[in-house]
Amino acid sequence: MDVVTDSLLVGLQERSYSIVFGQNLLTNVGEYLADIKFPKNIALVTNLTVLDLYGQTVLTSLETAGFTCSVITVPEGEEYKNLATLELIYDQLIEGNFDRGSGLIALGGGVVGDMAGYAAATFLRGIPFVQIPTTILSQVDSSVGGKTAVNHRLGKNLIGAFYQPRLVLIDIDTLKTLDRREVRAGIAEIVKYGIISDAEFFAWLENNVSELLELEPEALLHAVKRSCQIKSDIVEIDEREGSVRALLNYGHTFGHAIESLCGYGEWRHGEAVACGMVVASRIAHNLGLADEGSTARISTLLRNFQLPVDAPDFALHQFVTAMRRDKKVREGSLTLVLNQGIGSAKLYPVSNIEDTFHSALPDLES
Ligand SMILES: NC(=O)c1ccc[n+]([C@@H]2O[C@H](COP(=O)([O-])OP(=O)(O)OC[C@H]3O[C@@H](n4cnc5c(N)ncnc54)[C@H](O)[C@@H]3O)[C@@H](O)[C@H]2O)c1
């Protein structure tokens, strides 16, 4: 039986929008878009894998509801989330005579969503867009909150804009075709929400590991919805990351260092974040913000989700150099997100980056 369709509102004044959750939603995309009076002329941005799996369902629904839709495919993979691919999107929008009265749909994971979102933000100074995320990570994180970006050769997400979608449609059925490793990587971001903001949700995750790994619909829907609610609450307070939105970067400073040292693809983003969260919780423990029990619970839960918790084999100075290049370093001081036990987190500037990370990773060669 299908779980009930549900929704929540991201309240951002004139930029407010709904996130709709459920099963079998893709067959009704056209109706949802008609409800929000979305433009009739649409460019659907996706990649060939997702197009093959879900393109026909979405296109049929849109056509039945009276929309005209052209497909723009982008190459698959983080290494193509760049200005060159963005230009291919602009080329097709211009050649296809899309104008200010047109709309754009992002159908796919975070790579498609970030890139299509940035194209929508910038084409003709902004056209309306809708997110239809199809990975766990994109459903609980990247499709919500309006961060759009492409990578530059010198760093991740360096060229981007805050640009909110008009609607986010989350069909958890799409996760059935997702690679198992992508499922686990997405779950890392779900665990993050429990650690930074909701101890009860963290405890619920501890009791629902196999249900989530097996994509049991009710459990999955609860986890995705609770994650989006937490993200939405934070974005409503701080849309442009002037303060509390930075808490969502928990585990990401060390995680980004892993990704940048290992290169694209070897570690999935969520895997790197999992390891980064364990490091962050050890630092929190060393600084007296979290007890040993919290750190042990975090590490055990991530292990139970079959996520990596041990740092890859690099020297401490290599991690530190990578972290210094991160956007979060200002005037030599690095602002870390540290958990206070489980269920709350705070921003914590550290000036001695080496010592702070050495205390959490004593086995690493310096
Ligand atoms: N904007 C934000 O706030 C934000 C937040 C977190 C992450 N991100 C970005 O998100 C990106 C990572 O996103 P991701 O983890 O979704 O990776 P991804 O977009 O690369 O998708 C992972 C893989 O799954 C495939 N795929 C997608 N949906 C599928 C489905 N339903 N069935 C089968 N295969 C499917 C994709 O083609 C791809 O090969 C990164 O670029 C990261 O920077 C952005």
Which residues does a 6 A CB cutoff place in the pocket of ligand 1?
47, 49-50, 53, 76, 78, 81, 108-112, 114, 134-135, 137-138, 141-142, 145, 147, 156-157, 174, 177-178, 182, 269
Residue 205 lies in domain: 180-360
Does the pLDDT value for residue 2 go beyond 60? no
Does the pLDDT value for residue 365 go beyond 90? no
Mutate to test the pocket of ligand 1, among 142, 247, 273 (most ligand atoms within 8 A of CB): 142
Name the residue at shortest CA distance from atom 36 of ligand 1.
109
| 288 CA distance to ligand 1 middle (Å) | 35
- Rounded Cα distance, 54 and 52, in Å: 6
Phi (first) and psi of residue 100, to 5 degrees: -60, -20
Q: Helix or strand or coil: residue 306?
A: coil
Do 266 and 137 have their domain in common? no
Do 160 and 225 have their domain in common? no
- Please, what is the average pLDDT of the chain? 95
Catalytic option among 166, 192, 252, 297: 252
Do 41 and 125 have their domain in common? yes
Q: Per the domain annotation, does 170 fall within a domain?
A: yes
Do 58 and 156 have their domain in common? yes
Last residue of a domain, one of 158, 177, 196: 177
Q: Per the domain annotation, does 244 fall within a domain?
A: yes
Give long-range contacts, CB 8 A cutoff, 24+ apart: 51-54.
51/107, 53/134, 53/174, 53/177, 54/26, 54/107, 54/134, 54/174
Distances in Å between the alpha carbon of 201 and those of 71, 182, 303? 39, 22, 17
Report the pLDDT value the prediction gives residue 329, as an integer from 0 to 100. 65
Catalytic option among 14, 37, 125, 207: 125
Lowest mean pLDDT among 2-11, 23-32, 35-44, 347-356: 2-11
| 242 CA distance to ligand 1 middle (Å) | 25
Do 240 and 208 have their domain in common? yes
| 267 CA distance to ligand 1 middle (Å) | 13
Q: Per the domain annotation, does 365 fall within a domain?
A: no
From the CA of 133, give the closest atom in ligand 1.
28
Do 141 and 195 have their domain in common? no
Helix axes 83-95, 110-122, angle to 10 degrees: 60
| 74 CA distance to ligand 1 middle (Å) | 13
Do 169 and 185 have their domain in common? no
Q: Which helix (H) or strand (E) holds 280?
A: helix 269-286
The structural domain count of the chain equals 2
- Rounded Cα distance, 247 and 185, in Å: 19
Do 209 and 342 have their domain in common? yes
Last residue of a domain, one of 144, 177, 210: 177
Do 169 and 32 have their domain in common? yes
The question of whether 147 is a catalytic residue gets the answer yes
- Rounded Cα distance, 30 and 135, in Å: 21
DSSP labels for 20-40? Answer: EEESS-GGGHHHHHHHTT--S
From the CA of 270, give the closest atom in ligand 1.
15
Do 142 and 184 have their domain in common? no
From the CA of 49, give the closest atom in ligand 1.
37
Last residue of a domain, one of 125, 157, 177: 177
Do 198 and 315 have their domain in common? yes
Q: Per the domain annotation, does 336 fall within a domain?
A: yes
Report the pLDDT value the prediction gives residue 325, as an integer from 0 to 100. 79
Catalytic option among 28, 47, 151, 249: 249
Do 203 and 315 have their domain in common? yes
> CA 22, 26, 31, 35: dihedral to nearest 10 degrees?
60
- Rounded Cα distance, 88 and 94, in Å: 10
pLDDT above 90 covers a percentage of the chain that reads: 89
Q: Look up the CATH number of the domain holding residue 210.
A: 1.20.1090.10
Lowest mean pLDDT among 92-96, 188-192, 327-331: 327-331
DSSP labels for 103-150? Answer: EEEEEESHHHHHHHHHHHHHGGG---EEEEE-SHHIIIIITSS-EEEE
Q: Per the domain annotation, does 1 fall within a domain?
A: no
Q: Tell me if 114 sits within 8 A of 157, measured CB to CB.
A: yes
Does the pLDDT value for residue 327 go beyond 80? no
Residue among 158, 136, 127 nearest 43 (CA): 127
Q: Look up the CATH number of the domain holding residue 169.
A: 3.40.50.1970
Report the pLDDT value the prediction gives residue 3, as an integer from 0 to 100. 57
Phi (first) and psi of residue 41, to 5 degrees: -100, 115
> CA 166, 144, 233, 218: dihedral to nearest 10 degrees?
110
